[in-house]
Structure 1
């Protein structure tokens, strides 16, 4: 992007500080990756989760968040260890990370539309939001994001790689250094604005529609209140999810204002706030909030043997009392 930003990225941290920063980010990331994987397994453990539209969309959201968190942590470890990659390898990692990063806000849009239809058109909800239509929406989301990645790759081809002495990068791999031209940077800004406006308008419109439906006397007030809270939750998640899309632009601004180790440390804090935390919240929020998911998730998170032994103890209390 700029000589100043790349010079700041190359600042070396001390060995002890690298180890501490790696530990402080990797350990929580592994814990939340474990929780997300258990949540994904939970959403495939019972037919009700596989045959309900909102759980299918939740699975897609969690899958994208889990892959994004793993890819972000991989890029972080590569950068903190100062491992230099080639342009093709770095480009592949960055594009895959960008793909999963853009899946989340669009999936939240579909989830908000599903809640809007459930409240405002309850009699037609079963006919509109079918399992087949839900999977079609998931495929459309992945196709749209894949098309965006394809455009980014095409823009990267303008860079004169043939003039390089070697395809080995001179800096650490990150989304920032893969903007190899002005067109790539301009496209990223335009797409980020488009995604932010599209997702924001869709969720806010759904929320307004639900609030209008709440005034109808024939509407189930409990259902409306639950849908309203869900849409507010989607709006918060959207803000957290889209915060990672504006991360690159924010880093460019900081690169012009800060130098040295201070920039690197602030960038690590932003990585934790913009990338790790939003991806950790989905599983916890939905896993603890949904009455159908919660007992199954707790069962898988806890030791099954302990639960099984407890159930046997409850089923044979007299036998244990005699012992």
Structure 2
């Protein structure tokens, strides 16, 4: 096992010094907000699939893909956290499958943000050709390409794992808690992880910044589209912030390594819990909050959905709200 893995393992072993009350407290403090945001994400995804308007609009299809990937990633991360909090170990194959799925969805998020930025660039810089370029077929092809590229990365990691001599182990039962760090069983895995994360971060950042510059140039040359260009610039800036937050997990391991060498084991575990909330849970919940509040069409549909849940015994009022909401959604999308 690599020295990087061993360094973090020595720190994670300190969880055995945590009392039952402290472990229950940390588990509650992470599970409650995670479940709340999973509910919000689920409501958002159900809303995006409940109306033909959302299903046929490319930016909402891409948003659904982003929320879907973030929801799966957050669910698996919380599952691994609770398994570690319960001091339960699993086998290498089980840990590998869960981590590979989590890694797959984690890579989908930044790539989807890049596609969403390119869609906004085409909408502003080529408004007359937007409907011809951003079609339902092309959007579906972009989503498939995002998942295919992420899957190739996961397959590469699987091949690197096969180089580890598992036959020399007495048992496939893990001695450490299941985590992404525990599955880096060789130096090549760690080197590949650093190289891919660097390439992904640089490529995604360049794509979003280039789209932003293109929108700014188009806004200066065409004052008639100033309002739509301003909205597109703000959207691209939000995408850049989301990209930074989604890729913040790449600094998780270096921070843990540095902290594990300077503090006591119990303090390390507490710091690791805080970093988990800030790096894994918080970024995954921002997408639903940003688009749920900022986008008028989604906000109206969400308010209607929540109103129907609370007023399920009043069908007449719900139908009236539904008619008004559908009218406002159509008006907002037409104006955009």
TM-score range for the pair, normalised by the shorter chain length: over 0.9
Whether the 8 Å contact between 2:308 and 2:318 is mirrored in structure 1 is no
| Cα distance change on mapping 1:133 and 1:88 into 2, 3 Å | same
Between the aligned partners of 1:39 and 1:75, the Cα distance in structure 2 is: 25
Aligned twin of 1:320: none
Aligned twin of 2:49: 44
Show CA shifts across 1:166-209 (max 9, x none): 00001000011110000000000000100100111010111111
Aligned twin of 2:249: 244
Give the secondary structure class of the aligned counterpart of 1:257.
coil
Are residue 226 (structure 1) and residue 231 (structure 2) matched? yes
Using the TM superposition, give the Cα deviation of residue 281 of structure 1 relative to its aligned residue in structure 2, in angstroms.
1.1
Using the TM superposition, give the Cα deviation of residue 25 of structure 1 relative to its aligned residue in structure 2, in angstroms.
0.4
Alignment of 1:204-283 (within 5 A): 204-217=209-222, 219-283=224-288
Using the TM superposition, give the Cα deviation of residue 307 of structure 1 relative to its aligned residue in structure 2, in angstroms.
6.9
Alignment of 1:167-182 (within 5 A): 167-182=172-187
Between the aligned partners of 1:207 and 1:271, the Cα distance in structure 2 is: 31
Aligned twin of 2:8: 5
Greater mean alpha carbon deviation, residues 295-304 or residues 93-102: 295-304
Aligned twin of 1:130: 135
Aligned twin of 1:116: 121
Using the TM superposition, give the Cα deviation of residue 310 of structure 1 relative to its aligned residue in structure 2, in angstroms.
8.7
Give the secondary structure class of the aligned counterpart of 1:44.
helix
CA RMSD between the two structures: 1.7
Using the TM superposition, give the Cα deviation of residue 314 of structure 1 relative to its aligned residue in structure 2, in angstroms.
11
| Cα distance change on mapping 1:307 and 1:207 into 2, 3 Å | farther
Report which of the two has the higher share of helix. 2
Whether the 8 Å contact between 2:216 and 2:233 is mirrored in structure 1 is yes
The count of corresponding residues between Structure 1 and Structure 2 is 315
Using the TM superposition, give the Cα deviation of residue 302 of structure 1 relative to its aligned residue in structure 2, in angstroms.
3.7
Give the secondary structure class of the aligned counterpart of 2:288.
helix
Using the TM superposition, give the Cα deviation of residue 257 of structure 1 relative to its aligned residue in structure 2, in angstroms.
2.9
Greater mean alpha carbon deviation, residues 245-254 or residues 282-291: 245-254
Using the TM superposition, give the Cα deviation of residue 303 of structure 1 relative to its aligned residue in structure 2, in angstroms.
4.4
Using the TM superposition, give the Cα deviation of residue 244 of structure 1 relative to its aligned residue in structure 2, in angstroms.
1.5
Greater mean alpha carbon deviation, residues 8-17 or residues 106-115: 8-17
Between the aligned partners of 1:217 and 1:84, the Cα distance in structure 2 is: 60
Between the aligned partners of 2:163 and 2:318, the Cα distance in structure 1 is: 69
Between the aligned partners of 1:218 and 1:118, the Cα distance in structure 2 is: 15
Greater mean alpha carbon deviation, residues 31-40 or residues 291-300: 291-300
Gaps of 5+ in 2: 321-336
Aligned twin of 2:327: none
1:150 aligned to which of 148, 151, 155: 155
Are residue 296 (structure 1) and residue 263 (structure 2) matched? no
Aligned twin of 1:96: 101
